[in-house]
Amino acid sequence: MALLRKQPAGSLPVCTRGSRRVGNTVRCAAATEQSVLKVARNANFSKLQAGYLFPEIARRRRAHQEKNPGAQIISLGIGDTTEPLPQYIADAMAKAAAGLATREGYSGYGAEQGQGPLREAIAKTFYPGLINADEVFVSDGSKCDISRLQV
């Protein structure tokens, strides 16, 4: 196992093998003996409190809403998992999954921005005449995207 030790400000973190986990240490996957990461860790990660992130997001959203009652907030927190999927969505997902088992239907990894036809449909359906498909980004969820922006 290789570990990433926090280095002094301005220096790059260095992965070393065989070290014990101490203090601000992050595991490095597939690190070599002296792998040097070229991306500095965002200092704000160390400010995060222990626990689940969504209650903190909800607390801050409520506090902001109380101070700014007219604010229109788009929540990027947890989705609504209390209702089942609409049947047409479940059917489309099953059809797409079954297609992956055929040579004709297998697509491998898609484009990092999302599948072209889906991006076109989103632009046309939700933003007609306002944006182009190449301005649409389809992701697996806001938490992943927001954490990627932090790095």
Each residue's pLDDT tens digit, 4-38: 444 455 444 444 444 444 444 445 555 555 555 56
Judged by DSSP in three states, 4 sits in: strand
- pLDDT the model gives residue 38: 65
- pLDDT the model gives residue 151: 61
Structure confidence by residue, pLDDT tens digits, 52-84: 677 888 888 899 999 999 998 877 666 677 788
Helices then strands, counting H and E runs in the chain, come out as 4, 3
Q: Can you tell me the distance from the alpha carbon of 109 to that of 130, in angstroms, rounded to the nearest whole number?
A: 29
Q: Which of 5, 8, 36 is nearest to 22 (CA)?
A: 5
pTM of the model: 0.42
Q: Can you tell me the distance from the alpha carbon of 44 to that of 127, in angstroms, rounded to the nearest whole number?
A: 35
Residues contacting residue 41 through CB under 8 Å, at least 6 positions apart: 4, 6, 13, 26, 151
